[in-house]
Structure 1
Amino acid sequence: MKFKKIIYCCAIVSSLNLGAQTAEKKTSHVNPFIGTGAAHGSPLSGNNYPGATVPFGMVQLSPDTRNIPDWSVASGYNYNDTTIAGFSHTHLSGTGVAELFDVMLMPFSGSVVKEEAGQNAYQSKFSHDKEFAKPGYYSVELLDYQIKAELTATTHAGFHKYSFPKNKEAHIVIDLDHSMKKSDWNTRVIASQLSFPNDYTIEGYRIITGWAPMRKVYFHAEFSQPILHNHVADGGNVYENAKIVNGNAIRAILDFDTSKEQEILVKVGISATSIENARLNVQTEIPVWNFEAIVNTADAVWEKELSKIKIEGTEEQKQIFYTALYHTFIQPNTLSDVNGDYPSADFTVRNSSKSYYSTFSLWDTYRGAHPLYTLLQPERSADFVNSMLAYYKVFGYLPIWQLWGQENYCMIGNHAIPVIVDAVLKKIPGIDAETAFEALKNSSLREHPGSPFGIWEKYGYIPENLKSQSVSLTLEMAYDDWCVAELAKKLVKIDEYNQFAERSQFYKNLYDKKISFFRAKDDKGNWIGPFDPLKYGANGGYPFTEGNGWQYFWYVPQDVKGLINLVGGNNAFTKKLDTFFTLEDKPEEVNDNASGFIGQYAHGNEPSHHIAYLYNYAGEPWKTQKYTADILKKMYNTTSSGYSGNDDCGELSAWYIFSSIGFYPVNPANGVYVIGSPRLKEASIELKNGKIFKVTAKNVSDQNSYIQSAKLNGKSYTKTFVKHTDIEAGGTLEFVMGPKPNKNWGSKLEDRPIN
């Protein structure tokens, strides 16, 4: 059997740390508690978790502060909570839906008490004063039991270290029933098993369905001390010293003798394919009982990844920046085992020589996170794309929101398309363009929840009476079609190019020139009223998705010039933008995802993210500089409420990374980054080809947020954009900043961004 190279060993830790001994460590600036809990009066904070993980790993070993996590604590952890229910091995970072929470362990001391049905009776109080987290490591004191719990992780395994008090009985709970609320998404454990092969080992699995359908999670756990006794409960059935238990609500209490050795170590391997692979994963990645070595390795791996961008700025800026980069590199998540096995979309097990990934929150991450991956993670970007293409070959179309290898159909559009097109057009090696185009074309021409092809081509828009969220769908599908057309053009597929280029203009069919908004029509072509551009939609039953008519008006990233012409020219366009950023009126009910307001701009959700950059297209770049600087200063901080909305698998983080350096991909698939207002004194991007692209901002400060002049590689530069090819070539982009706008810089027609 051929295994991949695993770097989890002490020798490699030493080599990775050798160059970091004299340099400032990037991991020292990461604060995993940023975004873990809203401040009083704030609706959202990030929905991040503080536990141990490694870049793009399968395992996210983190505390759950609720017995039954729900959407308000979707990552499992809320900084404002006061108790810990246990430590589970899988979590989502920044999402709006609670899911995963697999294989939960919880140590406790003292007498075993009877558990109430459906409740974990062994949760403990904790204090932030006795809690600590850094990349790859988490610790907390469980105050009710005087137990110090420490956690670290590898790609496929979690490592626990529990320090028990003297002269007290020691126990560890393992819970296979812990999940989000069972009534949500029809969540239920279909089957589970717990077995005891020997006194030091437990193994098992659970098959659970919920937001992600029919997830199979296997585990193998090894203990540094023998299990003296086990008490296993499956609902109302109780078993003492069981060898194997099958059920659908399994929870076990394991007894240990800590009179001589108070520390208990637990190594837990996870797999989506089999118990045997879970065993192989942990034995390969954690071969010896050296907790500190795994902590150091995780730190070294994170240091290597975070060092791909080196910045100069204030300590606050460094903490926000490197925590954002950390959050962006948490996912997509490895789903294949160390031997290459992975769960296919048809519920069979297949094998890949490259890592197979899942957790594709594409409606969010195609905008900024994936373009960032093409810069900093090109090899992984190829693996991300090839994972999507492998999924397509089995499932019939590309993923929309894929989790644990299965589609959950969350959100609209099919935004694997821009991710794939962006990677191909940027010439990332290892992606077959013809295979990619086949997947794009068929995903756009076959009827499925993300792309209602039949009515799309029949009407030239989505009629609201045939499918809700119709305006948002029309605008987003038009963009996806533009992406397909661009790849068709590259591959000289003329007929397909013409078809998809025409479809990319369908957005115009929902523009009402009388009121200058996009609005819904029925299948007869009649406007549907009444229309209120301030009224919010959620995820169905209204023409707009997680936003309103104001926020979605600007979503034509493939044809901003066409949008400007629809409005009536540059002056009308910038005046409408001015109104957008200053109109404070809000309806009584605002969607839960709407937060981080500047006028109607809502930074807490993705539809607004590109809008501040649109002034550049109409010749008023100083206004882009003003608003991007305002967003950077107001919408991010170093507290537990550090984000203005759900981080959504790193998308809010990616916005900060790009924008603080000084640019952002308004059109995520055209290889153009639109310039805003750099926030950092210096940022050096380490490229795969060994070159460095450096951005400097002389005199930058909270007051000096306006660009006075710029140079690219020593030559005067007035364009309000920079190309991906410019960055790949290496060099230096220099800005001089000041307190007042220089309205001459970047305002000429030739300086405006390429569509």
Structure 2
Amino acid sequence: MNFTKIILFGTLLSSIVLGAQTTEKITSHVNPFIGTGAAHGSPLSGNNYPGATVPFGMVQLSPDTRNTPDWSVASGYNYNDSTIAGFSHTHLSGTGVAELFDVMLMPFSGAIVKEEAGQNAYQSKFSHEKESAKPGYYSVELLDYQIKAELTATTHAGFHKYSFPKNKEAHIVIDLDHSMKKSDWNTLIIASQLSFPNDHTIEGYRVITGWAPMRKVFFHAEFSQPIIHNHVTDGGNIYDNAKIVNGNAIRAILDFDTSKQQEILVKVGISATSIENARLNVQTEIPVWDFNATVNAADAVWEKELSKIKIDGTEEQKQIFYTALYHTFIQPNTLSDLSGDYPSVDFTTRKSSKPYYSTFSLWDTYRGAHPLYTILQPERSVDFVNSMLAYYKVFGYLPIWQLWGQENYCMIGNHAIPVVVDAVLKNLSGIDAEAAFEAVKNSSTREHPGSPFSLWEKYGYIPENLKSQSVSLTLEMAYDDWCVAELAKKLGKTDDYNHFTKRSQFYRNLYDKQIGFFRAKDDKGNWIGPFDPLKYGANGGYPFTEGNGWQYFWYVPQDVKGLVGLVGGDNTFTKKLDTFFTLEDKPEEVNDNASGFIGQYAHGNEPSHHIAYLYNYAGQPWKTQQYVSEILTKMYNTTSSGYSGNDDCGELSAWYIFSAMGFYPVNPASSTYVIGSPSLKEASIELNDGKIFKVIAKNVSDKNIYIQSAKLNGKNYTKTFIHQKDIDAGGTLEFVMGSKPNKKWGTKFEDRPIK
């Protein structure tokens, strides 16, 4: 694969597409600092990082502002910090756990300071006034050393440019011990190695276990200037001018002579399989010492990908929208090398002819991000699904939260199932439907920590005294079962369809009609009390997961019609929604993931994300329009505190992208999108076959948030939903907006998004 040719072709293609329409670069609207640090008084901001990466790349080269990142800086960077510890090559975007941070480099000038074992004496102060970022590029001045650090990246490699001051000793630290706190997730570096094959090259690896078990990270680094001396430590052991060091706490200081040339360039290839593949990755993707060319290539790739949606709106809207789109395209991450090698879940190395992907934050991303990928990244969506199916063949069930090729069992249910089913039901080419069904069926029947299926089949619900998080588990597993049933239906598997359809109704078994909530039972069928719908659960020890009874009440996306009937009809349902969005009471202890409140609605975490759209199902679409508009306005901005919660690998971003255009996948595997309140004047989606699906919102403004009328391809349209086939066909969905609700539009039963 010739990376350079691909980039040049992408650049040419971008200029052809954009040239006739606008000279404005879409990448100019992306602000990578959005979501990188909470404002005073805000609990969460996004947990994003500002560093250099390319779409879905293996490498995320970004500054770490802490020596030992923890939950509060899960991406490695916090905008409110004042020092930089170094620049590492792998990061997570928007997650709630700090992980990766592999192969950290840090330049410094002046004398070498004696360090205590495990400490970093070379962090530097920095200022946002001397810091900048754009897609594929990051720069900062390290104030303590008068060094300008610039970073860019390709899919498998990072490229550093360090400009040192004159007449000072120049050094670069390379740290293989840098990680999240060793006390978190039992993090431990099992083995690592640093070797010096010549005076311009370092190679090595580390094997580290933590949130993801037994990660192997290999690297090959080339320097534009010779290393004149190295000082290596491994805990308390010191090695001077070493050729090779093995240990589990390795850090090295490299000395350089910058008297003639103050710039030092460093190319670092990363691999999850071998040093040889790391070397191949970097030498193929960055064949020459041209830093600016790599920056421009990264920008061109981002321009091409972000151009898949073109919008008209305010500058603030463009910045929020395109930064959100940028964040959704950061992950899943390529894990395979250019050779096709990738680390399988059984710790062997396997080969794939297509990219193999990891970083599947599925409890989050199945809701909005993966449906968005099926529209904007259909070919990659196929590769995502096939990566999951390859994983299933070895592991026995689909991934739950897969990182660096390994399972960490984070969160509940198995939400690879709706991702796989959605892709097959949308007829994406290149997926074996029978193999997909085998995977989703077995992942819905084989016991694993995320879903206790023996209890499920025996009781028709999860008893809290046998498995905690029981109400959330019951509701989420019922949805996954609906997905399995739909795929069985498509493939003509009647017995399986009937079986899983029956299981998808198990949610009813935990509905207490006396109090009007889902609540926990024990294995004898008794309600477990006391019950407080305001009380929060975290990730165990309580019936609800990262939420409360109010937020989980609405989680029946497969059968909203049934939920409406369960509570007593449209009026009771909408009154309960009204209370949900206006009830401000909160208990003393609110789970850390609960933020971005409108009443009990908590936009900062995913269980709430579909709820504003539910008024459409009960004949009051103007209230959906009201609350969607409020969320769009209040929960996103252009500051470092731009998100109301963790972005969770692009999920909060995906909600904004869909909702700003005017629709959202309430049931992510249904191929149906429920209409909200479009906030953009215009959005044009470029489809894979060259067709365009355009959404126009006439008269839209901060006050004109209500739909007065709509047309689809020139014909009057009163339905409060559209189908995937409407998007696939191309065409125009046109809204006329106004400042007051039109309580006649979309209110008839046949206009509701109910089958």
Q: TM-score range by the shorter chain?
A: over 0.9
The answer to whether residue 651 in structure 2 is matched with residue 654 in structure 1 is no
Find out whether 1:15 has 2:12 as its counterpart: yes
Q: Within 5 Å, which residues of 2 pair with 1:393-432?
A: 393-432=393-432
- Is 1:52–1:152's contact at 8 Å kept on the other side of the alignment? yes
Q: State the distance in 1 between where 2:350 and 2:743 align.
A: 58
Distance 1:10 1:693, change over 3 A: closer
Distance 1:13 1:148, change over 3 A: farther
Question: Structure 1 CA distance, aligned partners of 2:23 and 2:438?
Answer: 47
What does 1:100-179 align with in structure 2 at a 5 Å threshold? Answer: 100-179=100-179
Q: CA deviation at 1:642?
A: 0.1
CA distance in 1 between counterparts of 2:130 and 2:10 reads 27
State how far apart, in whole Å, the 1-side matches of 2:223 and 2:561 are: 63
**Deviation of residue 6 (structure 1)?**
2.0
Query: Hey, what does 1:6 align to over in structure 2?
Result: 3
Query: Aligned pair 1:695/2:695, yes or no?
Result: yes
Tell me the CA shift for residue 354 of structure 1: 0.2
Q: Give TM-score, length-normalised by structure 1.
A: 0.99
1:684 aligned counterpart, secondary structure: strand
Alpha-carbon distance, 1:23 to partner? 2.4
The residue that corresponds to 2:487 in the other structure is 487
Alignment of 1:75-474 (within 5 A): 75-474=75-474
- Aligned partner of 2:344: which letter? S
- What is the rounded CA distance, in whole Å, between the counterparts of 1:327 and 1:355 in structure 2? 20
The answer to whether the 8 Å contact 2:560/2:754 transfers is no
Mapped contact 1:52–1:151 kept (Cα < 8 A):
yes
Q: Residue 563 of structure 2 corresponds to which residue in structure 1?
A: 563
Deviation for aligned residue 1:15: 2.2
Q: Matches of 1:363 and 1:440 in 2, distance apart?
A: 15
C-alpha deviation, 1:645, in angstroms: 0.1
Aligned-residue offset at 1:9: 7.3
1:9/1:297 contact within 8 Å kept: no
Q: State the partner residue of 1:41.
A: 41
The separation in 1 between residues aligned to 2:37 and 2:593, in whole angstroms, is 15
Cα distance in 1 for residues equivalent to 2:561 and 2:531: 25
Change (3 A) 1:9 1:412: closer
Alignment of 1:25 with 2:25, yes or no, is yes
What one-letter code is carried by the residue in structure 2 that aligns with 1:614? L
Q: Aligned partners of 1:387 and 1:12: how far apart in 2? A: 26
Contact map agreement 1:16 1:300 (CA 8 A) in 2: no
- Report the count of equivalent residues: 752
AA of the residue aligned to 1:535 = K
Corresponding residue number in structure 2 for 1:508:
508
RMSD: 0.9
Residue type matched to 2:91 in 1?
H
In structure 2, give the amino acid aligned to 1:651: E
Q: Structure 1 residues 135 and 572 mapped into 2: Cα distance closer, same or farther (>3 Å)?
A: same
Partner Cα separation in structure 1 for residue 496 and residue 583 of structure 2: 42
Paired with 2:615 and 2:116, the residues of 1 have a C-alpha distance of: 59
C-alpha distance in 1 between matches for 2:746 and 2:2: 49
Query: 1:5 deviation in Å?
Result: 4.1
**1:610 matched residue in structure 2:** 610
SS of 1:293's partner is helix
Structure 2 CA distance for aligned equivalents of residues 543 and 338 of structure 1: 45
Q: Is the CA contact 2:10–2:304 (under 8 Å) kept in the aligned structure 1?
A: no
Q: 1:285 to 1:474 in 2, by over 3 A?
A: same
Secondary structure of 2:444 counterpart: helix
1:684 corresponds to which residue?
684
**CA offset digits 1:105-131 (Å, max 9, x no partner):** 000000001012221100000000000
Structure 2 letter corresponding to 1:398: L
Cα displacement (A) at 1:13? 6.7
Q: Distance in 1 between matches of 2:650 and 2:640?
A: 16
Q: Deviations over 1:451-500 (max 9, x none)?
A: 21100000000000000000000000000000000000000111111110
How far, CA to CA, are the matches of 2:447 and 2:5 in structure 1? Answer: 45
Distance 1:308 1:120 in 2: 43
How far did residue 449 of structure 1 move? 1.1
Find the counterpart in structure 2 of residue 752 from structure 1: 752
CA displacement 1:14-61 (0-9 Å, x = unmatched): 525533465211100000000000000000000000000000000000
Cα distance in 2 between the residues matched to 1:483 and 1:10: 38
Deviation at 1:8, TM superposition (A): 6.1
Note the alpha carbon deviations across 1:355-408, whole angstroms, 9 max, x for none.
000000000000000000000000000000000000000001000000000000
Task: Go from structure 1 to structure 2 and tell me whether the alpha carbon gap of 1:9 and 1:551 turns closer, same or farther (over 3 Å shift).
Answer: closer
8 A contact 1:400–1:413 mirrored in 2: yes
Q: Once the 2 structures are TM-superposed, how far is the Cα of residue 510 of structure 1 from its aligned partner?
A: 0.1
SS, match of residue 87 in structure 1 = strand
SS in 1 for 2:181: coil
TM-score, normalised on structure 2? 0.99
CA distance in 2, matches of 1:396, 1:6: 35
For 1:10 and 1:593, the matched residues in 2 are separated by 39
Distance in 2 separating the partners of 1:631 and 1:747: 22
Structure 2 distance, partners of 1:435, 1:741, is 48
Query: How far is 1:10 from its partner?
Result: 7.3
> 1: CA distance between counterparts of 2:704 and 2:438?
49
Letter of the 1:697 partner, please give it: A
The 1:11/1:507 distance shift into structure 2, 3 A limit, reads: closer
Aligned-residue sequence identity (percent) comes to 87
Distance 2:344 2:7 in 1: 34
Q: Is the 2:367–2:665 contact (alpha carbons within 8 Å) kept by the matching residues of 1?
A: yes
Q: C-alpha displacement at 1:7, in angstroms?
A: 3.8
Q: How does 1:519-530 map to 2 (within 5 A)?
A: 519-530=519-530
What aligned pairs does 1:707-722 form with structure 2 within 5 A after superposition? 707-722=707-722
Cα deviation 1:651-680 (Å, max 9, x = unaligned): 000000000000000000000000000000
Q: Report SS of the residue matched to 2:206.
A: strand
Question: Conserved in 2, the CA contact under 8 Å of 1:331 and 1:359?
Answer: yes
- What is the alpha-carbon distance in structure 2 between the residues aligned to residue 75 and residue 419 of structure 1? 25
The verdict on how the C-alpha distance between 1:698 and 1:13 changes in structure 2, with shifts beyond 3 A counting, is closer
2:3 is paired with a residue whose SS is coil
Match for 2:258: what amino acid?
Answer: T
Contact residue 67 and residue 85 of structure 2 kept, 8 A: yes
Letter in 1 for 2:686: E
Q: Is the partner of 1:696 in helix, strand or coil? A: strand
Partner Cα distance (1:16, 1:107) in 2: 38
Q: Determine the C-alpha separation between the residues in 2 that align with 1:604 and 1:295.
A: 33
8 Å contact from structure 1 (residues 66, 77) kept in 2 = yes
- Name the SS of the counterpart of 1:444 in structure 2: coil
Contact 1:13 1:296 in 2 (8 A): no
Question: For residue 468 of structure 1, what is the amino acid of its counterpart?
Answer: S
Residue 297 of structure 2 aligns to a residue in which SS?
Answer: helix
Amino acid across the alignment from 1:89: H
CA distance in structure 2 between the partners assigned to 1:107 and 1:730 by the alignment: 51
The CA distance in 2 between the partners of 1:238 and 1:432, in whole Å, is 55
Counterpart CA distance in 1 for 2:326 and 2:410 is 25
Give secondary structure in 2 for the equivalent of 1:695.
Answer: strand
* SS of residue in 2 equivalent to 1:18: helix
SS in 2 for 1:203: strand
Code of the residue aligned with 1:400 in structure 2: it is I
Distance 1:83 1:517, change over 3 A: same
* Partners of 1:10 and 1:293 within 8 A in 2: no
Distance in 2 separating the partners of 1:157 and 1:503: 46
Amino acid at match of 1:18: S
Conserved in 2, the CA contact under 8 Å of 1:48 and 1:647? yes
SS at match of 1:177: coil
